[in-house]
Structure 1
Amino acid sequence: MVDSSRLAEHIRVLASDAFEGRAPATAGEEKTVAYLREQFAAAGLQPGGENGGWTQAVTLERTEIAGPVAASFSVGGREWTLANGDDIALETLHPQGDVALRGVPVVFAGYGITAPELDWDDYAGLDVRGKVVVVLVNDPDFETAPERFGGRAMTWYGRWAYKYIEAAKRGAAGVLIVHETAPAAYPWATVRNGRAAPQFDIVRADAADWHLPVRGWIQRATAERLFADAGLSFDAAKREAQQPGFRARALEGVAFSAAFAVARSRITSHNVLGLLPGAARADETVIVSGHWDSFGIGTPDAGGDAIINGAVDNATAIASMLEIARVMAAGARPARSVLFIALTAEESGLLGATHYAAHPLRPLATTAAAINMEMWSPDGPTRDISSWGQGKVSLERALEAAARAEGRTYSPDPELEAGFFYRADHFAFAQAGVPAITVGPGMDQLKGGVEGGRAARADYFARRYHQPGDAFDGSWDMRGPTADTAVVLRLVRGVADSEAWPEWDAGSEFRAAREASAASRRR
């Protein structure tokens, strides 16, 4: 049985100031890894990491701005300075030296999307080599009637990561994404804090081609002034970019400059893994995951607090993982093995999960599922439980059955426009073909209904998400996380004991990758 007091204690410890915000390659990581190893062992798991240990080393390239940032636009020879963190938020992962762009031409490329299957190319007819590209966040359908991109549900094309990758392929010097809270699904504070923290990536042989020399975001107000100074209307340009046939254009007479020193190093972080061996088909695996990292120590808030404790995001899920491991290890062994993975560097781009998928410690072909957890709500129990995005996978129906067995309901992601499917660790497993899902809290509160749930979620994302305010409070209502953990426990047990293999539905972009290894799963 899931113990709410144990859940609360795990969250309290992991989100305490002593853990310094759990950033990779810090003293906070050392404390986190030690705690997870201790708790996995106490739960009765076996080490599931490399060389018979509890961890998998994840080597990361670390890039951090060292010192002040100078940034400006010039229009018709008149220069105006941009305040980093207020008007603009810059970063780099490029392996070159310090950033030194001076007078680089600026172009507007709509949403920065090239999608041949949708007959859409924002870059058509425009050479962006050596230029800075201004693009809009999300994709063209967010504010218009459903057309090619499926309406308000964000696609991969709407994610900032895609926009950076696409521009880098074309040799751009940089990308500036125009931030707007609704289509981004988070406020400027989230952007500012994320860019101010050190940036990480897995080690890549082609890093110079993969990464832009500079990348970042600008406030909508900054974009409005930029377009106005260039003799254009930002709103009109945005409306044009939402229509088929849009063509990118240079912003005549506009140039961008940026200069800042960069400190680079290579660090090693760790995934932490505990294994519960299966009783009947131990060679088959069910992964249960969640990310342990947060943002460490960032910019002080109005009260002077700079530690981004990451209580909801994602100490809640790690607490659930530890409790599920304890309960399962104390009961009858499942047929399949269950591998519990506390993943690193999710906040830096799903890097711990990406590394595991590229270097799996158990074969992915016989990994039945990856069941990931994110961000349980402390705002009271809900009638429902949800999953992130529209996964087109049988695990969604299995989650619905598990919820029903616990006397609850399943609600598909109510905020498909936020693009959560691409923002959680299960996405890295999905790209490798493994049927995967991220389970998150529902919205229909027992006291407050859907309206109360929406208000609580909006308040969290506005005031605490990726901010120092995401801290544990002893007054939290643990009934919600406890009930949600019980549903996931039932889901994991069901998949681990089943003889069936979870599957991607027809039409899923991940189905082909899974089918390529079908022979490994024949019995």
Structure 2
Amino acid sequence: MKKTISLLAAALLAACSTEPVSTVAVPTADPDTIRAHVTYLASDELQGRDTGSEGYEQAADYVAAQFREIGLQPAGEDGFKQTVPFRRASHTEQKPTAVLHTADDDIELAFGEDFLAGAGQAQQASAVTAEMVFAGYGIDAPRFGINDYEGLEVDGKIVVVLSGRHASLPTEEGAHYRSGRTKLQTAAARGAVGMISVHTPQAEKRRPFERSAKYAERPNLRWVGKDGVPSDTVPGVHPGIYLDIGAAEKLFAGAPQQLAQVFEAVEKGEKLQGFDLAVRASLSNHSQHEQITSPNVVAMLPGSDPQLKDEFVVFSAHLDHIGLDAHAEEGADHINNGALDNATGVAIMLETARMFAEGERPRRSILFVAVTGEERGLLGSDYFAQYPTVPGDKMVANINLDMPLVLYPFNDVIAFGAEHSSLGETVARAAANAGIKLSPDPMPEQGLFTRSDHYSFVRQGVPSVFLVVGFESADPDIDGGEVFTNFLKTDYHRPSDQIDLPINYLAAKKFTEVNYEIGREVANTEERQRWNQGNFFGDLFGG
């Protein structure tokens, strides 16, 4: 009886409403379609979809064909594609060098053992000899009362900094300040000619230096801007090196403090004070450059509102993965298929796009962007955010899908970054409409808000969220957090991330429908999304 009364009340309200009642049925997601997308994108045929590879090109062609079949409009620069120009820098036979000049001797460090250095992007050859200065973590964060450069003169010197950040910094803001990009820009702005980052005991626990050293020879990619300058480089500044702890101790010979004392101060939570080092350094780097391209794939569904259709809600998901495993044992599986990272994310975005195309047309236009180069440093999304194929000031929100672990029936979703803007309220409302709870970040220490493609949009002032499946399982025998942790330990960035994992396509269907509800809510709100008053990221990037 209560249900009958509720239905009658709803009908009366609809009859009295001045708003037109939609006759378009609410679409539903198809788990078999999602499965088909994942099966192709994570197939051996695509060889792990590495940026710039033939396999990635095939994946991009597939996504473009799906956009076309759905009935979306091309929104790239060449049909559905936006070609991203990259510079691939590799080491030459003349490997990077690092020599320390002490009062008594010259100490030559070994590349790949004592230090790591990426191939230079800004120039093919770089060499610098200079005095050094220790600058703590190399962070200047006025809002949080931190300035590691206070009282230091670094002009013309090489700055030595610890990897990581101050423990007092909030996690997400700290993730911004701990990034190599931010630290290099901070040092260069003060006249530094190079930077040396020091591995720490905390970093060793997370990722041993020896593990990173296995990839010492790996080429690196940067997109190249319209001005011909590679992204995240500072021309005229040496590309820098990363030192293991044992080698770094030699930098502090004759200094006011030894490195062990610095680490002890960190452990005690004491304030780090910078100081000049008695040791000078000579660094060199030689690289060879190759120009390659790899496309973003971009489609648009035009909005229905005459005033709001020129604004855009952007769905994004990275299409690339890490390609082949060069360190696999002979005869072992060496293809990193990336089924969950991120074939599922792209498949769910494609199915979300189909739902929008078949459902009631939203007021704002919606862009669907499958980006390249995420695994190489958020490169494709950064290029798109800086060179968008629509007016940049008309992008009102970004909803990013990366590695949704649809391995179990879930009861909640997590929207990393929701607390920074009005998107938090909008996403919570939409999730409730879909019968799903919005949960807070269960892993704040990971700083995930800055670690996927949505952050490229944040850096251009666009309120953004990174949406994943939550840890609350509908099956009491499954611990969602444990499933997530086990995936990271056993399958993440490994050949085992493939379609024979127990992917739950009914959960993928549910997650797609939640995404549709969120996108529809954002696209139909009267007011565009805004940063919360006084928010760090809004103040830093949204002004």
SS for the counterpart of 1:161 is helix
SS for the counterpart of 1:472 is coil
Pair 1:157 & 2:177 matched: yes
Deviations 1:489-523 (A, max 9, x none): 1101122233232221112245468986xxxxxxx
5 Å-filtered alignment, 1:102-501, equals 107-128=133-154, 131-141=157-167, 147=168, 149-150=169-170, 154-169=174-189, 170-178=191-199, 189=211, 193=215, 196-203=218-225, 209=234, 212-220=237-245, 223=248, 234-240=259-265, 246-253=272-279, 255=281, 257=283, 259=285, 261-281=286-306, 282-302=309-329, 304-389=332-417, 391-447=419-475, 452-501=479-528
Pair 1:98 & 2:125 matched: yes
CA distance in structure 1 between the aligned counterparts of 2:36 and 2:236, rounded to whole angstroms: 40
Deviations 1:62-88 (A, max 9, x none): 22224574555657537465452x654
Question: Are the equivalent residues in 1 in contact too, given 2:163–2:197 (CA < 8 A)?
Answer: no
Question: Are the equivalent residues in 1 in contact too, given 2:199–2:244 (CA < 8 A)?
Answer: yes
Change (3 A) 1:223 1:397: farther
The 10-residue stretch of structure 1 (38-47 or 391-400) with the greater mean CA deviation from structure 2: 391-400
Deviations 1:88-125 (A, max 9, x none): 43204432223556x76554322110123333222233
Aligned length: 505
AA at the equivalent of 1:30: E
Question: Are the equivalent residues in 1 in contact too, given 2:138–2:162 (CA < 8 A)?
Answer: yes
Change (3 A) 1:218 1:250: same
The 10-residue stretch of structure 1 (244-253 or 112-121) with the greater mean CA deviation from structure 2: 244-253
Change (3 A) 1:355 1:515: closer
In structure 1, the residue matched to 2:80 is: 54
SS for the counterpart of 2:420 is coil
Change (3 A) 1:244 1:232: closer
CA distance in structure 2 between the aligned counterparts of 1:79 and 1:125, rounded to whole angstroms: 29
Question: Are the equivalent residues in 2 in contact too, given 1:107–1:133 (CA < 8 A)?
Answer: yes
CA distance in structure 2 between the aligned counterparts of 1:7 and 1:421, rounded to whole angstroms: 26
- Compute the displacement of 1:26 (Å): 2.2
Question: Are the equivalent residues in 1 in contact too, given 2:254–2:277 (CA < 8 A)?
Answer: no
Once the two structures are aligned, what percentage of the paired residues are identical?
30
CA distance in structure 1 between the aligned counterparts of 2:91 and 2:252, rounded to whole angstroms: 28
Deviations 1:239-286 (A, max 9, x none): 435857532234444746555x41213333221111112222432221
Question: Are the equivalent residues in 1 in contact too, given 2:407–2:503 (CA < 8 A)?
Answer: yes
Task: Return the index of the structure with the highest Cα Rg.
Answer: 2
SS for the counterpart of 2:234 is helix
Question: Are the equivalent residues in 1 in contact too, given 2:417–2:464 (CA < 8 A)?
Answer: no
Question: Are the equivalent residues in 1 in contact too, given 2:421–2:532 (CA < 8 A)?
Answer: yes
Change (3 A) 1:14 1:46: same
CA distance in structure 1 between the aligned counterparts of 2:373 and 2:59, rounded to whole angstroms: 13
- Compute the displacement of 1:308 (Å): 3.5
Deviations 1:168-209 (A, max 9, x none): 333232332426666996666578559724321332566663
Change (3 A) 1:459 1:196: farther
Deviations 1:23-42 (A, max 9, x none): 22221232121111111112
SS for the counterpart of 1:297 is coil
User: TM-score by structure 1 length?
Assistant: 0.84
CA distance in structure 1 between the aligned counterparts of 2:500 and 2:172, rounded to whole angstroms: 34
In structure 2, the residue matched to 1:144 is: none
- Compute the displacement of 1:20 (Å): 2.5
Question: Are the equivalent residues in 2 in contact too, given 1:129–1:173 (CA < 8 A)?
Answer: no
Question: Are the equivalent residues in 2 in contact too, given 1:197–1:298 (CA < 8 A)?
Answer: no
CA distance in structure 2 between the aligned counterparts of 1:272 and 1:404, rounded to whole angstroms: 31
Deviations 1:195-238 (A, max 9, x none): 72432133256666357423354445665687699896545303
The 10-residue stretch of structure 1 (411-420 or 473-482) with the greater mean CA deviation from structure 2: 473-482
- Compute the displacement of 1:318 (Å): 0.9
Question: Are the equivalent residues in 1 in contact too, given 2:118–2:241 (CA < 8 A)?
Answer: yes
SS for the counterpart of 1:371 is strand
Structure 1 or 2: more strand by fraction: 1
What RMSD, in angstroms, separates the aligned Cα atoms of the two structures? 3.5
User: TM-score by structure 2 length?
Assistant: 0.81
